Structure 1
Amino acid sequence: MLKIAGLSSGYGRVSVLEGIDLEVDNQEIVVILGPNGAGKTTLLNSISGVARATTGSILFDGKDITGAKPEQVVRMGLVHCPEGRRIFQRLTVEENLVAAHIGRAGKSFEALRSDVFDLFPVLKERRNGMASRMSGGQQQMLAIGRALMAEPKLLMLDEPSLGLAPKIIHQIFRIILDLSQTGISILLVEQNVQLALECGDYAYLLNTGRVRVHGPAQEIAQHSALSDHYLGSATEEVLHV
């Protein structure tokens, strides 16, 4: 589904990522972990076309999308749900979904909206309410729902649990698992390491712009390198477990 080879990227003259190799298979949940400043968000921005690659390649569904514009990427079915929700606060729930519908060949707006409302009943209840008046958890549901309006083959989620209560966090992770079961591949950047590794199939640990450790999620959860990189005592060696 997604294959990244030797990717280096950043913003202007500032280099953030160096030599990233990463893969996501069909219906797989791949988790990206790492301390603050590791380059996790830049990685998603590079895939979605917000940050430009300086070297390396990005293949999605067999097509080279290196250097593609964000609107081209999303129309191919690679959809980015960014950190901080970034919904349209002054629009209603319904209007947010309308704004996200890109009108390509596929399901109608009504069918996609119905799917979102089935997944998030609270959004149907509040469809005519202002997005700014919803709770943080409801706004995160709207952000994911809005991303689903683009019919993703691969959904990239950046810190979906950020700032949410524990009960809502578990609900969001259940939804992520449900989405995977419908055939959507997931690339997940997440600060809640334990929950991310519990639901993920494969994991990559980034630090200072490079992949330091990667392997099956359950094996990464038991690896000493996980705490080493978060606590700052890791070596520069790349580990494949």
Structure 2
Amino acid sequence: MEQLRNSTSSESLLKVGGLQAGYGHTQVLFGIDLEVKAGEIVTIIGANGAGKTTTLRSISGLTRIYGGTLTFKGRSIKGIAPEEVTRLGLAHCPEGRQILQRLTVEENLIAGYLPERGQSFDAIRSDVFAMFPVLKERRNSLASRMSGGQQQMLAIGRSLMASPELLMLDEPSLGLAPKLINQIFEIIISLSNAGISLIVVEQNASVALEIADYAYVFDAGRCSAEGGARNVLNDPGLKEAYLGA
């Protein structure tokens, strides 16, 4: 099943073409094509080991690229350092809530701030605190003493301190209670409404497809299907394979 976008709907923010990547001599991706248009929520779904996380890591400059193209805002980002990718406006919130456990909430936010992005620290922090009031309440608490849900909020908040135009979230609901999962996805919608484009890698496929504009289905390092998220959600074959229907 494939339903392509209207190519004139909005400008392309990120384009991935024929991406081949992996780790050392182990190739994981075998020709991934992917696009994110400005203002979109794009989700990537698929089984464990399908290449979802490796795709995000490749975009961020964290894997070995064997071939293909990576373009962000019309500029090639293939082979550039991860910190430079972030400076360009592309932030990556990795799987596993990789926050700085021995630092406070405030110190984690400071660590995520990039003055090169042209926004004041106080203004961005104010926006993060407005979105995550618990971070303001616990700004002086050690990150290690926060709950799993609070740590996930901190991980997202720290990524937002870089003033991204595109935010990549890898398994944001992993290990969270259902109530917190709903809260995290409400936050994702709020980020989109605030003008941030998003790529969401998520095993909770049905919830991700409910909020996304466009979806890619990965299988064994390749894209096996793509289309409007609602169409993917309602596709009988994909439902059976990935949504437990």
Pick the TM interval, shorter chain.
over 0.9
Number of the residue aligned with 1:178 = 190
8 Å contact 2:20–2:30 — kept in the other structure? yes
Map 1:1-241; keep pairs closer than 5 Å. 1-227=13-239, 229-230=241-242
Do 1:207 and 1:229's aligned partners in 2 also have CA atoms closer than 8 Å?
Answer: no
Q: Quick check: 2:169–2:199 contact (8 Å CA) kept in 1?
A: yes
How far apart, CA to CA, are the structure 1 residues paired with 2:59 and 2:211?
22
Inter-CA distance 201–130: structure 2 relative to 1 (3 Å threshold): same
CA contact (8 A) 2:233 2:239 kept: no
The range that moved more, 74-83 or 51-60, is 51-60
The alignment covers a number of residue pairs equal to 231
> Displacement, 1:185?
0.3
Q: Which moved more, 1:102-111 or 1:144-153?
A: 102-111
8 A Cα contact 1:32 1:203, kept in partner: yes
What TM-score results when the alignment is normalised by the length of structure 1?
A: 0.94
Shift in Å, 1:226: 1.5
In the alignment, the residues of structure 2 paired with residue 53 and residue 7 of structure 1 have an alpha-carbon distance, to the nearest angstrom, of: 8
- Structure 2 CA distance for aligned equivalents of residues 67 and 131 of structure 1: 32
Identity in percent: 61
Distance in 2, Cα, partners of 1:199 & 1:230: 17
Cα 1:4–1:116 change in 2 (3 A) is: same
1:206–1:212 contact (8 Å) kept in structure 2: yes
Contact 1:39–1:206 (Cα < 8 Å) also in 2: yes
- State the Cα distance separating 1:229 from its structure 2 match: 4.2
RMSD: 1.1
Paired amino acid for 2:190: D
Aligned-pair distance for 1:110? 1.0
